[in-house]
Amino acid sequence: MTVLAPVRLGRRDASLRERATGRDSPLRRLDWVLGLAVLALIGIGSLLVWSATRQRMLDADLDPQAFLKRHLINAVIGMTLASVATLVDYRSLQAYAPVVYLASCLGLVAVLTPLGSTINGAHSWIVLGGGFQVQPAELAKVALVVGMAMLLADVRDPERGPRDGDVVLVLALAAVPIALIMLQPDLGTVLVLVFIVLGVLAMSGAPLRWVAGLLVAGALVCVTAVQAGVLDDYQVDRFAAFANPELDPRGVGYNTNQARIAIGSGGLLGKGLFEGTQTAGRFIPEQQTDFVFTVAGEELGLVGASVLLALLGTVLWRGLRIASRSPDPFGRLLAAGVVCWFSFQSFVNVGMTLGIMPVTGLPLPFVSYGGSAMFANLVAVGLLQNVHLSSREL
C-alpha cells in the first residue's frame, strides 16, 4: 500500500486557496483593532454630543435628539466614504493626487468668494442648503497628506531621502492651502497642516536642518502675526487668555476657566451621563464641537476621559504600525501623515480644555460634532485600512 506524503502548501498557495474560499476577503483582513477603536470613539462621541445639546434643544422646545441624529447621519456618510477609500487601491490614488489637491484648493478659493459663509468668526464654510454646510479646510488635510506622500515617494534616491529641491517643492505645495486657510482666518487648521508638513518631512528622511528651520520659522511667523495685527482680535485674545486665564475670567478667559471647572468637577467617575451641571447649564460655548472633551470629563469623570484618550491612543498606535509595515514609500508616508494629523489635533483639543494649549477651535477627531471633520477623519481611516490591506497581501 502506497502512502502519500502530505502536500505542504506554500504561503502563496495558501493565500490563493483562502481567496478562492472567501476566507481572505478584504473584510476579514481589515485592521479590526483600528476599526473597533474608531467605532467606539464615534459611539462615545454621539452620547457626548447628545448630552451637550439636549438641554439647549429642550429649552428651545425643539427635538432634543436633533444634533444626535445629524451626528449619526454624518458618521454613516463618513463610513461610506471610508469604505470607498479602503477598497480603491491607494497606489492608484497616487496618480490622482494632483486632481485631489487642485480640487481642495478650488474649494478653499470658493470659501473666499460670496459662496463662503462666516460662522464663529471664521469665513470657512460653504452653505449647501437644507441645513448642510461643508468646510473645505477639513478636506484640505486629506489632500495635503496625499499630495506630500506622492511627491516624497518619488524622490530619486530613496536611501538618501529627499534633496533640497524636493523639500522646496513640498513646501510650495503646502504653502497654497495654508495661505488660503489663513485668509479665512482659521489658525487652528493652519497649525495642523504645518505639523503634518513637519511630520511627513521627518518621516521621509529630509535633512534635519529643514525640519529645525521650519520650526523656528513657524514660531517667528506666529509672533510676527500677533504683533503685526494679521490675526483677528478674537484670536489675539485667545493667546492672551492662554498666557493668563485669570486676566479676564468673564471675558477672554471665560471658556478656558469654565472648561477646567467642568473637567475638575467630574472627579473620578463623573456625575453621570446627562447629569453634568456645567453642561446642562450651558456655561461652555460650542461644547458639542471644540469643547466636547469637557462633557466627558464632567459626566464620565477621570475614568471615562481616560478611556476616551486610550481609544485615541489605540488609533495612533495602529496607524504607526501600518506605516511601519507599508510595502512602499507612498503608503508609509500616507499613513504617517494621517498619524501626525490625528495626534496633533487630539493633543491641541484636549490641551485647550485643560488650559495647557490656547483655544484654536479644533475638533476632537471622531468625537466632536461636525460633518466635514467626520468625513475627512473617516476617509483618512479608510486610507490607513487600504495601506494595511496592501501590506497583508505580501
pLDDT in tens, 37-60: 999 999 999 999 999 999 888 888
Residue 22 within a domain: no
- What range does the domain containing 177 cover? 31-392
For 259, the grid coordinates are 472648561
Query: What total number of domains does the chain contain?
Result: 1
- Amino acid at position 261, single letter: I
Question: Would you state the cell numbers that stand for residue 299, as one nine-digit string?
Answer: 459626566
Q: Could you report the per-residue pLDDT of 144-161, keeping only the tens digit for each?
A: 999 999 999 877 556 667
65-97 as b/e: b if 16+ CB within 10 A:
ebbbebbbebbeebbebbeebbeeebbebbeeb
Residue at 279 is within a domain: yes
Q: Is residue 197 part of a domain?
A: yes
- Taking only the tens of pLDDT, the chain with its 394 residues reads 444 444 444 444 444 455 444 556 777 888 999 999 999 999 999 999 999 999 888 888 888 999 999 999 999 999 999 999 998 888 888 888 889 999 999 999 999 888 878 776 677 888 876 667 889 999 999 999 999 999 998 775 566 678 878 888 999 999 999 999 988 878 889 999 999 999 999 888 888 888 888 888 777 776 776 666 666 666 666 666 666 666 656 666 677 888 888 898 889 998 998 888 888 877 888 788 889 999 999 999 999 999 999 999 999 999 999 999 998 899 999 999 999 999 999 999 999 888 888 888 899 999 999 899 999 999 999 999 999 998 766 5
Residue 333 resides in a domain: yes
Using an 8 Å Cβ cutoff, are 318 and 37 in contact?
A: yes
Question: How many degrees, rounded to 5, is the angle at CA 134 between CA 123 and CA 259?
Answer: 70
Rg value, the chain, Cα = 23
Q: Please indicate, yes or no, if residue 13 is contained in any of the structural domains.
A: no
DSSP code at position 117: E
Count the residues in the chain. Answer: 394
Lookup: cell for 350:
484636549
Identify the pLDDT of residue 279.
84
**Does residue 162 lie within any of the structural domains?**
yes
The CB density around residue 63, as the number of other CB atoms within 10 Å, is 12
Give the single-character DSSP code of 326. Answer: -
**Residue ranges of the alpha helices (H) in 281-366?**
292-299, 301-324, 329-354
Q: How far apart are CA 38 and CA 312, in angstroms?
A: 8
300 touches 273 (CB < 8 A):
yes
Predicted pLDDT at 235: 64
Q: Answer yes or no: is 200 within a domain.
A: yes
For residue 245, give every residue at least 6 positions away whose Cβ sits within 8 Å of its Cβ, in sequence order, or none.
253, 256, 257, 260, 355
Render the burial of 226-245: b for 16+ CB within 10 Å, e for the rest. eeeeebeeebbbbbbbbeeb
Q: Is residue 372 part of a domain?
A: yes
> For residues 116 and 94, what is the distance between their CA atoms, to the nearest angstrom?
30
Instruction: Output the nine-digit C-alpha cell for 246.
Output: 485669570
Q: How far apart are CA 365 and CA 361, in angstroms?
A: 12
> Which residues are paired to 119 by β-bridges?
122
